[in-house]
A and B are shown apart, each in its own frame.
Chain A
Amino acid sequence: MGLEMAETDWASLIVQIFWLLFFILLFTGANQKIQMKLWSMDIRNKLRIIYKYFNDDEDKVKNLLKNLGVASPELLFKRVLDFFTIQPVDIEPTDIIKRLDHLLRTSDKSFRRLVASYLPGIDRYERSLIETSLSIVAALYMVYKIIRHYLLLGEKENNWILLMQLELVMPQIMRIVETYHKALDAFTTGKPIGDGVGPLVAYRLIELGEVVSRRIVEETSITELRLDNRRYIIIKAEGPGSNVGHPGAVLASVIEDLKGGVDLVVTIDAALKLEGEENGEIAEGVGAAIGDPGPEKIAIERATTKYGIPLRAVIVKMGLAEAIQGMRKEIYEAGERTVEYIRRLVKELTPINSTVVIAGIGNTMGIPG
């Protein structure tokens, strides 16, 4: 009989043990603890990868700083990594744009002053590359700190919902982190990035036209030229350093200087594509194509609304990786096509001898003018 049992019932014994274990886990809640452990292990592994990226990038920028003569870049890193800007009060919306603009400009100036104090003899071009590289490292460190905070909090409080949310969002975070990590190369070498397609179009228009005048206001260039029997005013960040300028505020001041004597305003910018859309697709529409937190965009909207000037937008679609990493060929080619697109649009919408303001929005790194 014992022999019979050995021959026939091993499989059913395993199945019975399996079910027994299953019910024990289910009724004691241990299955959830195992699941939590698995999630936290996975998050911890990904956190290690993020820290490695941060470490690699930190070393890269530290070496860069040492080559530029900074004896102890650790001190600069200590101050930069924890640098923060507090958002203005939003339960009282009166003058929030003014306050936000003030805080953003103060933050920008303070950050630049901080970097400049450690690199006194360096030119603006190189300093702008260092500033953006430091911002990337600081962003990676911030992501690392936030993920670590929620992981430790979830583990400490046995909060499986928190860990589950973190686990589900981790692939998206990892993709963004990898994109930032890879973007550092472009910013340390000064090559144009995908986001620079707006300034590239603006620069090409300057090349094509007959330049009348050029001036720099708030790190933003204003170039007046004649092209296709029209008066063009081209606004873009001053290049070729890593700079986005203040195109909104400058555009508003140009319109005010001309007392509203502008027939058309066109903004050109890189825009994040939806999944399934092609990189380098061009689209046109109405409104201000600019991805700032608010002050620049509202300045364009207010100035054009005040004088009833048509506000048009042309965007070049791309993914996040294409936007902040080196400019891909298809984006460059889209930029070249956009130049012709803009010229055609201006001819369609304005009569001869009109005044047209074109703003190339984005980071102008690697693109002069």
Chain B
Amino acid sequence: MISSQDAITWIAVISAIILSIYFMMESMRKPKEPEYETMEILECPKCGYTVTKEFEPGDFIGMIKGKCPKCGTPLIIKAIYEVEKKNEKNLKTPNNL
């Protein structure tokens, strides 16, 4: 028969072990960092047509790249910036489920 004092001691020992493991795992866990993708916005200086594309190495703001599909004027890179990559789960909206 285990006395109540022994039971308390056992509970304390087991709790201490569980807590130690929990804190160790907690300290090892790393928060997930967001991933980014680089986009560039191309703009037609004549008709204002804009298109967003993925950044290609060597591109820079103000660079002439491609032609406007509407008026044929050379397109200019207006902006280059990074946006957070969207999670697969987040992309599912009620409409496309």
Q: In chain B between 1 and 23, which residues have their CB closer than 8 angstroms to a CB of chain A?
A: 1-3, 6, 9-10, 13
Which residues does chain B contribute within 8 Å of A191, judged by CB atoms?
Answer: 38, 55, 57, 59, 80
Residue of B nearest to A192 (CB): B80
Q: Residue B81 contacts which of A7, A12, A331 (CB distance < 8 angstroms)?
A: A331
Q: Counting CB contacts under 8 A, is A239 at the interface?
A: yes
Which residues does chain A contribute within 8 Å of B9, judged by CB atoms?
Answer: 11-12, 14-15
The answer on a CB contact under 8 Å between A14 and B13 is yes
1/0 per residue, CB under 8 A from A, across B76-97: the answer is 0001111100000000000000
Q: Counting CB contacts under 8 A, is A360 at the interface?
A: no
Which residues does chain A contribute within 8 Å of B62, judged by CB atoms?
Answer: 203, 240, 367-369
Which residues does chain A contribute within 8 Å of B81, judged by CB atoms?
Answer: 192, 326-329, 331-332
Q: Closest Cβ of chain A: how far from B54's Cβ, in Å?
A: 11
Q: In chain A between 291 and 335, which residues have their CB closer than 8 angstroms to a CB of chain B?
A: 325-329, 331-332
Q: Closest Cβ of chain A: how far from B86's Cβ, in Å?
A: 13
In the bound complex, CA of A331 to CA of B6 (Å): 62
Which residues does chain A contribute within 8 Å of B55, judged by CB atoms?
Answer: 189, 191
The answer on a CB contact under 8 Å between A327 and B60 is no
Which residues does chain A contribute within 8 Å of B63, judged by CB atoms?
Answer: 240, 368
The answer on a CB contact under 8 Å between A200 and B61 is yes
Which residues does chain B contribute within 8 Å of A327, judged by CB atoms?
Answer: 80-82
Q: In chain A between 186 and 211, which residues have their CB closer than 8 angstroms to a CB of chain B?
A: 188-192, 200, 203
The answer on a CB contact under 8 Å between B60 and A366 is yes
1/0 per residue, CB under 8 A from A, across B30-74: the answer is 000000101000000000000000010111111100000000000
Q: How large is the interface on A (under 10, 10 to 19, 20 to 34, 35 or more residues)?
A: 20 to 34
In the bound complex, CA of A14 to CA of B80 (Å): 65
Which residues does chain B contribute within 8 Å of A200, judged by CB atoms?
Answer: 61
Q: How large is the interface on B (under 10, 10 to 19, 20 to 34, 35 or more residues)?
A: 20 to 34
Residue of A nearest to B3 (CB): A8
Which residues does chain B contribute within 8 Å of A367, judged by CB atoms?
Answer: 60-62
The answer on a CB contact under 8 Å between B61 and A203 is yes
1/0 per residue, CB under 8 A from B, across A4-20: the answer is 00011011101100000
In the bound complex, CA of A78 to CA of B60 (Å): 32
In the bound complex, CA of A275 to CA of B36 (Å): 21
The answer on a CB contact under 8 Å between B36 and A328 is yes
1/0 per residue, CB under 8 A from B, across A347-369: the answer is 00000000000000000001111
Q: In chain A between 11 and 32, which residues have their CB closer than 8 angstroms to a CB of chain B?
A: 11-12, 14-15
In the bound complex, CA of A56 to CA of B49 (Å): 41
The answer on a CB contact under 8 Å between A11 and B6 is yes
In the bound complex, CA of A138 to CA of B82 (Å): 26
In the bound complex, CA of A12 to CA of B9 (Å): 8
In the bound complex, CA of A327 to CA of B71 (Å): 31
In the bound complex, CA of A290 to CA of B57 (Å): 28
Residue of A nearest to B8 (CB): A11
Pick the most buried of B9, B57, B81: most chain A CB atoms within 10 A of its CB: B81
Which residues does chain A contribute within 8 Å of B58, judged by CB atoms?
Answer: 189-190
Q: Closest Cβ of chain B: how far from A56's Cβ, in Å?
A: 17
Q: Residue A326 contacts which of B10, B13, B82 (CB distance < 8 angstroms)?
A: B82
The answer on a CB contact under 8 Å between B79 and A8 is no
Residue of A nearest to B41 (CB): A332
Which residues does chain B contribute within 8 Å of A189, judged by CB atoms?
Answer: 55, 57-58
Residue of A nearest to B83 (CB): A329
The answer on a CB contact under 8 Å between B61 and A192 is yes
In the complex, 7 of the A-B residue pairs with CB atoms within 8 angstroms, ordered by the A residue number, are: A11-B13, A190-B59, A192-B60, A240-B62, A240-B63, A328-B82, A368-B60
Residues of A within 8 A of B (CB): 7-8, 10-12, 14-15, 188-192, 200, 203, 239-240, 325-329, 331-332, 366-369
| Nearest 3 Cβ contacts at the A-B interface | A240-B60, A189-B57, A332-B81
Residues of B within 8 A of A (CB): 1-3, 6, 9-10, 13, 36, 38, 55, 57-63, 79-83
List 12 additional contacts besides A188-B57, A329-B83; criterion CB under 8 Å: A8-B2, A15-B9, A190-B59, A190-B60, A191-B80, A203-B62, A239-B60, A325-B36, A327-B80, A329-B81, A366-B61, A367-B61
